[in-house]
Amino acid sequence: MARDENRRDRREREEAPEFADRLVAINRVSKTVKGGKRFGFAALVVVGDQKGRVGFGKGKAKEVPEAIRKATEQAKRQMIRVPLREGRTLHHDIEGRHGAGKVVMRTAPQGTGIIAGGPMRAVFEMLGVQDVVAKSIGSQNPYNMIRATLDGLTKESSPRMVAQRRGKKVADILPKRDEAPTESTQVAEEA
Protein backbone atom coordinates (compact mmCIF):
# COMPACT_ATOMS: atom_id res chain seq x y z
CA MET A 1 0.00 0.00 0.00
CA ALA A 2 2.79 2.42 0.95
CA ARG A 3 4.63 1.61 -2.27
CA ASP A 4 1.61 2.62 -4.37
CA GLU A 5 1.38 5.94 -2.52
CA ASN A 6 5.12 6.57 -3.06
CA ARG A 7 4.77 5.87 -6.77
CA ARG A 8 1.79 8.21 -7.03
CA ASP A 9 3.67 10.96 -5.14
CA ARG A 10 6.73 10.50 -7.37
CA ARG A 11 4.60 10.68 -10.53
CA GLU A 12 2.91 13.86 -9.32
CA ARG A 13 6.29 15.44 -8.53
CA GLU A 14 7.66 14.52 -11.97
CA GLU A 15 4.62 16.01 -13.69
CA ALA A 16 4.53 19.02 -11.35
CA PRO A 17 6.60 21.36 -13.56
CA GLU A 18 4.18 22.90 -16.01
CA PHE A 19 5.13 22.23 -19.62
CA ALA A 20 4.37 24.43 -22.58
CA ASP A 21 3.60 22.72 -25.86
CA ARG A 22 3.63 23.85 -29.46
CA LEU A 23 1.89 22.11 -32.35
CA VAL A 24 4.41 22.10 -35.21
CA ALA A 25 2.61 20.15 -37.92
CA ILE A 26 -0.69 18.40 -38.49
CA ASN A 27 -1.09 16.11 -41.45
CA ARG A 28 -4.08 14.23 -42.86
CA VAL A 29 -3.16 10.64 -43.62
CA SER A 30 -5.26 8.02 -45.38
CA LYS A 31 -5.39 4.26 -45.35
CA THR A 32 -6.90 2.51 -48.33
CA VAL A 33 -9.19 -0.34 -47.36
CA LYS A 34 -11.62 -2.59 -49.21
CA GLY A 35 -14.48 -0.09 -48.99
CA GLY A 36 -12.46 3.03 -49.87
CA LYS A 37 -10.21 5.33 -47.83
CA ARG A 38 -10.09 5.82 -44.08
CA PHE A 39 -8.76 9.21 -43.02
CA GLY A 40 -6.79 9.96 -39.89
CA PHE A 41 -4.51 12.68 -38.58
CA ALA A 42 -0.83 12.77 -37.63
CA ALA A 43 0.40 15.47 -35.24
CA LEU A 44 3.92 16.67 -34.44
CA VAL A 45 4.28 18.44 -31.07
CA VAL A 46 7.23 20.02 -29.22
CA VAL A 47 7.02 20.24 -25.42
CA GLY A 48 9.34 22.08 -23.01
CA ASP A 49 9.54 23.70 -19.59
CA GLN A 50 11.32 26.81 -21.01
CA LYS A 51 14.14 26.24 -18.49
CA GLY A 52 16.38 23.88 -20.42
CA ARG A 53 14.24 20.81 -21.07
CA VAL A 54 12.63 19.94 -24.40
CA GLY A 55 11.18 16.95 -26.23
CA PHE A 56 9.12 16.13 -29.30
CA GLY A 57 6.48 13.55 -30.05
CA LYS A 58 4.26 12.39 -32.85
CA GLY A 59 0.81 10.87 -32.62
CA LYS A 60 -1.79 9.47 -34.99
CA ALA A 61 -5.53 9.15 -34.45
CA LYS A 62 -8.90 9.43 -36.18
CA GLU A 63 -9.50 12.90 -34.67
CA VAL A 64 -7.11 15.86 -34.38
CA PRO A 65 -7.37 16.42 -30.57
CA GLU A 66 -6.59 12.76 -29.85
CA ALA A 67 -3.55 12.85 -32.17
CA ILE A 68 -2.27 16.00 -30.41
CA ARG A 69 -2.79 14.41 -26.97
CA LYS A 70 -0.84 11.29 -27.98
CA ALA A 71 1.98 13.40 -29.44
CA THR A 72 2.15 15.54 -26.27
CA GLU A 73 2.37 12.47 -24.03
CA GLN A 74 5.16 10.99 -26.14
CA ALA A 75 7.03 14.31 -26.11
CA LYS A 76 6.89 14.47 -22.29
CA ARG A 77 8.36 10.96 -22.08
CA GLN A 78 11.25 11.77 -24.44
CA MET A 79 12.50 15.03 -22.95
CA ILE A 80 16.20 15.94 -22.91
CA ARG A 81 18.02 18.47 -20.74
CA VAL A 82 20.16 21.09 -22.49
CA PRO A 83 22.64 23.30 -20.59
CA LEU A 84 22.09 26.99 -21.37
CA ARG A 85 24.52 29.87 -20.86
CA GLU A 86 23.01 32.50 -18.55
CA GLY A 87 19.68 30.74 -19.13
CA ARG A 88 19.26 32.48 -22.50
CA THR A 89 21.62 31.09 -25.19
CA LEU A 90 23.83 28.16 -26.18
CA HIS A 91 27.34 27.66 -24.79
CA HIS A 92 28.94 27.12 -28.20
CA ASP A 93 28.14 26.72 -31.90
CA ILE A 94 26.81 23.28 -32.83
CA GLU A 95 25.62 21.30 -35.83
CA GLY A 96 22.99 18.60 -35.91
CA ARG A 97 22.03 16.06 -38.55
CA HIS A 98 19.19 13.69 -39.22
CA GLY A 99 18.64 12.12 -42.60
CA ALA A 100 19.11 14.79 -45.26
CA GLY A 101 18.41 17.56 -42.73
CA LYS A 102 21.31 19.55 -41.35
CA VAL A 103 20.99 22.35 -38.79
CA VAL A 104 23.62 24.91 -37.76
CA MET A 105 23.03 26.69 -34.44
CA ARG A 106 25.15 29.61 -33.23
CA THR A 107 25.29 31.34 -29.88
CA ALA A 108 24.22 34.99 -30.00
CA PRO A 109 24.66 38.15 -27.90
CA GLN A 110 21.87 39.35 -25.65
CA GLY A 111 19.01 41.06 -27.47
CA THR A 112 19.43 39.11 -30.72
CA GLY A 113 16.27 37.04 -30.31
CA ILE A 114 15.47 33.72 -31.95
CA ILE A 115 16.55 33.86 -35.56
CA ALA A 116 15.39 30.46 -36.79
CA GLY A 117 12.73 29.17 -39.09
CA GLY A 118 9.75 26.92 -38.71
CA PRO A 119 10.12 23.86 -36.49
CA MET A 120 13.50 25.02 -35.10
CA ARG A 121 11.87 28.14 -33.67
CA ALA A 122 9.34 25.99 -31.81
CA VAL A 123 12.15 23.90 -30.27
CA PHE A 124 14.08 27.00 -29.11
CA GLU A 125 10.96 28.67 -27.68
CA MET A 126 10.00 25.55 -25.70
CA LEU A 127 13.62 25.14 -24.55
CA GLY A 128 13.71 28.68 -23.17
CA VAL A 129 16.46 30.00 -25.45
CA GLN A 130 16.10 33.74 -26.06
CA ASP A 131 19.14 34.48 -28.26
CA VAL A 132 20.22 32.11 -31.02
CA VAL A 133 20.94 32.18 -34.75
CA ALA A 134 20.06 28.97 -36.59
CA LYS A 135 20.03 27.83 -40.20
CA SER A 136 18.59 24.68 -41.73
CA ILE A 137 20.26 23.15 -44.74
CA GLY A 138 18.84 20.31 -46.81
CA SER A 139 15.57 18.67 -45.86
CA GLN A 140 12.64 20.95 -45.03
CA ASN A 141 10.65 18.05 -43.57
CA PRO A 142 9.57 19.21 -40.08
CA TYR A 143 10.23 15.77 -38.54
CA ASN A 144 13.82 15.74 -39.83
CA MET A 145 14.42 19.38 -38.87
CA ILE A 146 13.30 18.80 -35.27
CA ARG A 147 15.34 15.60 -34.98
CA ALA A 148 18.41 17.36 -36.40
CA THR A 149 17.94 20.25 -33.95
CA LEU A 150 17.66 17.89 -30.98
CA ASP A 151 20.67 15.92 -32.26
CA GLY A 152 22.73 19.10 -32.17
CA LEU A 153 21.40 20.14 -28.76
CA THR A 154 22.38 16.77 -27.24
CA LYS A 155 25.98 17.43 -28.37
CA GLU A 156 26.17 20.70 -26.44
CA SER A 157 28.36 20.72 -23.35
CA SER A 158 28.66 23.31 -20.60
CA PRO A 159 31.98 24.43 -19.06
CA ARG A 160 31.05 22.37 -15.98
CA MET A 161 30.67 19.21 -18.09
CA VAL A 162 33.98 19.84 -19.87
CA ALA A 163 35.76 20.46 -16.55
CA GLN A 164 34.34 17.26 -15.09
CA ARG A 165 35.41 15.26 -18.17
CA ARG A 166 38.96 16.65 -17.99
CA GLY A 167 39.20 16.38 -14.20
CA LYS A 168 39.76 20.12 -13.74
CA LYS A 169 37.99 23.06 -12.16
CA VAL A 170 35.64 25.30 -14.17
CA ALA A 171 37.89 28.31 -13.47
CA ASP A 172 40.85 26.52 -15.14
CA ILE A 173 38.88 26.02 -18.36
CA LEU A 174 37.19 29.42 -18.78
CA PRO A 175 39.43 32.29 -19.96
CA LYS A 176 39.93 35.14 -17.51
CA ARG A 177 37.51 38.00 -18.19
CA ASP A 178 40.05 40.84 -17.85
CA GLU A 179 42.63 39.48 -20.28
CA ALA A 180 42.13 39.25 -24.02
CA PRO A 181 42.56 35.80 -25.57
CA THR A 182 46.11 35.32 -26.83
CA GLU A 183 47.35 32.91 -29.46
CA SER A 184 48.35 30.34 -26.84
CA THR A 185 44.87 30.33 -25.22
CA GLN A 186 43.20 30.09 -28.63
CA VAL A 187 45.38 27.10 -29.56
CA ALA A 188 44.59 25.49 -26.18
CA GLU A 189 40.84 25.99 -26.72
CA GLU A 190 40.96 24.36 -30.14
CA ALA A 191 42.84 21.31 -28.82
Domain span(s) for CATH 3.30.160.20 in the chain: 2-80
**Per-residue pLDDT at 175:** 76
**Per-residue pLDDT at 118:** 86
Residue 160's contacts (CB-CB under 8 Å, 6 or more residues apart) are 83, 170
Q: How far apart are the first and last CA of the chain?
A: 56
The third-level CATH classification (topology) of the domain covering 2-80 is: Double Stranded RNA Binding Domain (3.30.160)
**Per-residue pLDDT at 26:** 94
**Per-residue pLDDT at 186:** 53
β-partners of residue 95 are 104
Domain span(s) for CATH 3.30.230.10 in the chain: 83-190
Q: Give the pLDDT mean for 64-83.
A: 93
Q: Give the pLDDT mean for 129-152.
A: 92
Reply yes or no on whether the pLDDT at 77 is more than 70. yes
**Per-residue pLDDT at 42:** 95
Reply yes or no on whether the pLDDT at 190 is more than 80. no
Residue 22's contacts (CB-CB under 8 Å, 6 or more residues apart) are 45, 46, 47, 122, 125, 126
* Pairing outcome for strands 101-107 and 132-138: antiparallel
The CATH code for residues 83-190 is 3.30.230.10
